[in-house]
Structure 1
């Protein structure tokens, strides 16, 4: 009996191997396969490839990817079944991938996000993406951002007041506070609505985002749930559907609420009347305007973009703020320098920090950039080549190849960042930036598909950090050495980051 079972298993493996080889050889030409053989990587097992490198917990996966980058000097190959991915962490390679005006299709891994975000700006490609990008760009015009600065200030002061009760505690889990602040601020600005942080929808939405990220990472290295048709045969599909239902319920309520009150003739916090008579709209209002007047987007399209921006607009920003608070808590001299700059720019009346003030905080901006160097909110992005791509060293990457850009490793390359583990904001003086490779630092991606909301994010981070430091001294609980990083859709830590807040006493 045992012999029969093993014989059946062996026969099935042979069949799978034959099917795999037929799929693999039909996808790649002999020349392409020879090119791919030039790229090093971990040992490949027949049929399965070397995806076992990613096997284990999200923390173990994170460490494995970092080790591979070092072992193979920033360029290595990983294969799972017929899917081949080349991983890049050197600026010359990354420049060729990101600067291209034709290589705009996101990587295969983004298809795992599509059941949720569908054809939103993050996941769409081709003319569909170009139309949406052009449609949404005016929503982040500097005049709109200038108006948003008032909302940033209002919400930052509210967050500061909420933190006052934390001073009596040994430490504070800053993740919860900052997540609430970032989501509130996004809703108040780009979406034109308010939510109570105590509402069930608010809490469930935040939990669902974390759950969805865990599901995506789980699927990446498990062939039996990686393709959608296999996922739909598993029990995991019910968890995916419930999670997406929770996520969409939150954004659907936002859209419905705004549709009920939307009036194109009203000028408010999310609508700007310029001196030239041109009217600018924030994101959701702009999408509704297009639906009502031009008909070039429908409700489903609005849902796609709102889903995308609520996720990307609050989660990435909150991660950056949390990591910055940890770093500042561990660098009291940097806190002092930021405070000194704040007083020199804002003056003695610190009751309000204006848009012009925020723009003038150059040292604070260097601190934000250094935070995003050490902890890029999105540590990994990917492209699928729609045509062959030649790298600077002459290697030609074939059409259909998955190219993974590891921003985290790029930002810690000692060739471009001496003492890469250290927090040194002065790396971002104009003089130092001019000396570096332009693609050695890409926290918001780069090229045509760079982040549309990066100025929004920087302005918001400046606002909350300024207000916190004006009122509190940050003291370290967690350190860069004590935290454990995880693979996820954005930069996550195994445990929430903790900081001690102490009331700042101003000298009279």
Structure 2
């Protein structure tokens, strides 16, 4: 009798929750989807399994949207409905109209980032964006190239230990490079992680993203009472505390050192981002910690992922790599030297190669937004208040309507010709909430890859990458085989 009562109560609760979102449910039925939605969990079953399985599900729903005339599909995660969009015109409109992230994702991100601008609600995001934007002005970015170049030369030197040998993962080398450059330019600290082997902070963040992404795609773990019983919960708290404490210590030490400099009237001309923020009024310690967390964590991973995919693609396409090497030699001459600011503008083919890599393998394959009002898309599809969006970067980047029938092919020449729709290329998100550090990342990537190609020929790892790269999703999109290459000293 007790079990019957419990089952009846569960059914009534389920029906009540659906009634609350009845307009969203009705609207979702107007959007075609090739996938079966199960009671309670919806399409969550598609995301069960490994990180590769989760990325496969993202690809499936993206391709499903491409098949529909409206260029949209839909999925349901428990009581959260998401419209999947792959049309560049629609994405451009929606990314400008809807700026808030879905409440569920925001709740998860706050565990680590607090109210950092990456996930913050609009009332917090707007003033912080206004404060941060000048920090990424052209003048400041040009000052950072010297650090990119210095760390790239250290990277090239460290890679001598694996050059001429067997295939290896370039990922740990690239992540230490990006961590060092970001910490120097954003925080003004020299970690020298490329020299020191142990990296507690980096390891803690990687584990945090892996564990955190698992929960985002498993609605049965959404309730806090249930998740606290899961073994991942304790690990997540541990790794999150390590990352947060690292940034907190840096901010406090930097604040003290800036105060000492003011007292001694010592002059300083080049500032890192944290120092520039410390000179700005109304920057609380909480705000500084949150924004530095966003800068360090986002910039470190996106740049490392972009560079790693580029290295693998250069190993797959030696004729492309040859053209990149010839361009580098034309720009810098026959002798190896550090890359300078003036060199970057002339490395046009290298930039095209990086952009084409980011098109096929964007570090962030999806962008989620909350719908706060009804809107009708150019295709005629109506989205209603209370639903959510998945702006599929993966889908937009491979949509034949914008990239042609060879959309799945690696062809850097398309970026040399410039014959593509700008809103169809969004590797660092889009709209007002697009990544502030896009130019920063491109300058870092160009400096890093140019230095690498200047010193080494990148060879393909045996028995790997004979077809499309197998990818997985854990916040960022990464290579299942962990970016394997071989190097030959030039």
TM above 0.5, yes or no, is yes
Aligned to 1:231, which of 227, 230, 238? 227
**In the alignment, which residue of structure 1 is the partner of 2:450?**
466
Residue 173 of structure 1 and its aligned partner are, at CA, apart by 1.4
1:250 aligns with 2:246: yes
Stretch deviating more after TM superposition (156-165 or 91-100): 91-100
Q: Mark the CA change 1:160 to 1:390 in structure 2 (over 3 Å): closer, same or farther.
A: same
Q: Distance in 1 between matches of 2:148 and 2:362?
A: 22
The structure-2 alpha-carbon separation of the partners of 1:284 and 1:480, relative to structure 1 and needing over 3 Å to count, comes to farther
Give 1:341 shift: 1.6
Whole-angstrom distance in 2 between the partners of 1:233 and 1:392: 46
Cα displacement string for residues 413-461 of structure 1 (whole angstroms, at most 9, x for unaligned residues) = 233223233221011124413xx3x321111111101110000000001
Match of 1:301 among 279, 287, 292: 287
Distance between the aligned counterparts of 1:25 and 1:134, measured in 2?
A: 40
Quick one: structure 1 residues 486 and 132, their matched pair in 2 at CA, closer, same or farther if it must change by over 3 Å?
A: same
Match for residue 38 of structure 2 among 45, 52, 56: 45
- 1:316 is paired with a residue whose SS is helix
> Partners in 1 of 2:436 and 2:327 — Cα distance?
28
Cα deviation code 1:49-95 (max 9, x no counterpart) = 23212222221222123223323424222112221111122223212
Q: Is residue 450 of structure 2 the alignment partner of residue 455 of structure 1?
A: no
Determine if contact 2:148/2:447 at 8 Å carries over to the other structure: yes
Instruction: Give a deviation string over 1:379-417, Cα, whole Å, max 9, x none.
Output: 111000122222112222111211011211221223322
Aligned to 1:427, which of 390, 414, 431?
414
Q: Secondary structure at the match of 2:279?
A: helix
Q: Is the 8 A contact 2:362 2:394 kept in 1?
A: yes
Moved more, 326-335 or 481-490: 481-490
Residue 480 of structure 1 and its aligned partner are, at CA, apart by: 6.2
* Count of residue pairs brought into register by the alignment: 477
Q: 1:356 aligns with which of 342, 351, 360?
A: 342
Alpha-carbon deviations, 1:261-307, whole Å to 9, x = none?
22366555xx54xxxxxxxx4321122223xxx2x221111110111
Which consecutive residues of structure 1, in runs of 5 or more, have no partner in the other structure? 273-280
Question: Residue 84 of structure 2 contacts residue 389 of structure 2 at CA under 8 Å; is this kept in 1?
Answer: yes
Q: Structure 1 residue 382 and structure 2 residue 368: aligned? A: yes
Contact 1:140 1:282 in 2 (8 A): no
Within-5 A mapping of 1:322-401? 322-401=308-387
Deviations 1:9-61 (A, max 9, x none): x54343223213223322443xx433221012322222332321222222122
TM-score of the aligned structures, taking structure 1 as reference length = 0.88
- Structure 2 CA distance for aligned equivalents of residues 158 and 126 of structure 1: 40
Is 419-428 or 322-331 further displaced after alignment?
419-428
| Contact 1:50 1:78 survives alignment (8 Å) | yes
Q: Does 1:36 align with 2:36?
A: no
Q: Considering only aligned residues, what root-mean-square deviation do their CA atoms show, in Å? A: 2.2
Query: Is the 8 Å Cα contact of residues 366 and 426 (structure 1) preserved in structure 2?
Result: yes
CA distance in 2, matches of 1:201, 1:243: 19
Secondary structure of the corresponding residue to residue 491 of structure 1: strand
The 8 Å contact of residues 61 and 84 in structure 2, kept in 1 or not, is answered as no
Q: 1:130 to 1:430 in 2, by over 3 A?
A: farther
1:444 touches 1:451 (CA, 8 Å); kept in 2?
A: yes
Give me the whole-angstrom Cα distance separating, in 2, the residues matched to 1:386 and 1:482.
38
Instruction: Pick which of 170-179 and 54-63 moved more.
Output: 54-63
Against the structure 1 CA distance between its residues 370 and 13, is the aligned structure 2 distance closer, same or farther, given a 3 Å change threshold? Answer: farther
Alignment check: 8 A CA contact 1:17 1:46 kept: no
Alignment of 1:63-462 (within 5 A): 63-72=56-65, 73=67, 74-100=71-97, 103-107=98-102, 108-197=104-193, 203-262=199-258, 263=261, 268=268, 271-272=269-270, 281-290=271-280, 294=281, 296-417=282-403, 418-433=405-420, 436=421, 438-462=422-446
**Structure 2 Cα separation of the partners of residues 201 and 260 of structure 1:** 28
- Indicate the SS of the match to 1:167: coil
Q: Distance in 2 between matches of 1:314 and 1:95?
A: 26
Do the aligned partners of 1:59 and 1:494 also contact (CA within 8 Å) in 2?
A: yes
SS where residue 76 of structure 1 aligns? strand
Taking the aligned partners of 2:489 and 2:125, their CA distance within structure 1 comes to 47
Distance 2:363 2:267 in 1: 34
Q: Secondary structure at the match of 2:199?
A: helix
Cα distance in 1, alignment partners of residues 131 and 110 from structure 2: 21
Runs of 4+ in 1 over 4 A off after TM superposition: 198-202, 264-268
Contact 2:106 2:120 in 1 (8 A): no
Q: Which moved more, 1:373-382 or 1:64-73?
A: 64-73
SS in 1 for 2:81: strand
Q: Is the 8 A contact 1:20 1:81 kept in 2?
A: no
CA distance in 2: counterparts of 1:53 and 1:11, whole angstroms: 31
- Indicate how the Cα distance of structure 1 residues 201 and 17 shifts in structure 2: closer, same or farther if over 3 A, else same: farther
Shift of 1:129: 0.5
Kept in 2, the 8 Å contact 1:88–1:94? The answer is: yes
Shift of 1:235: 4.3
| C-alpha distance in 2 between matches for 1:13 and 1:355 | 67
Q: What is the DSSP-based 3-state SS (H/G/I as helix, E as strand, rest coil) of the residue aligned with 2:378?
A: coil
